[in-house]
Amino acid sequence: MPLRIAAKVPRGERGYFSERLQPRIDGTHIQMSGEVNDATKQGFLAEAAALLFPINWPEPFGLVMIEAMACGTPVIAFRSGSVPEVIDDGVTGFIVEGEEEAVDAVKRACTLDRRKVRERFEARFTARRMAQDYVRLYHQLSRAKAARQPALAD
User: Taking 90 as the threshold, does the pLDDT of residue 145 lie above it?
Assistant: no
Confidence of residue 37 (pLDDT cuts 50, 70, 90): very high
Q: What is the mean pLDDT of residues 73-84?
A: 97
How does residue 144 score in pLDDT terms, banded at 50, 70 and 90?
Answer: confident
Summarised one tens digit per residue, pLDDT across range 100-139 is 999 999 999 999 999 999 999 999 999 999 999 999 999 9
CATH T-level assignment (fold) for domain 36-148: Rossmann fold (3.40.50)
**What are the structural domain ranges in the chain?**
36-148
Q: Residue 149: what pLDDT?
A: 74
pLDDT at 147: 84
Q: How far is 20 from 41, CA to CA, in rounded Å?
A: 26
| pLDDT for the residue numbered 153 | 59
The single-letter code of the amino acid at 153 is A
Q: Cβ–Cβ contacts within 10 Å for residue 59, how many?
A: 18
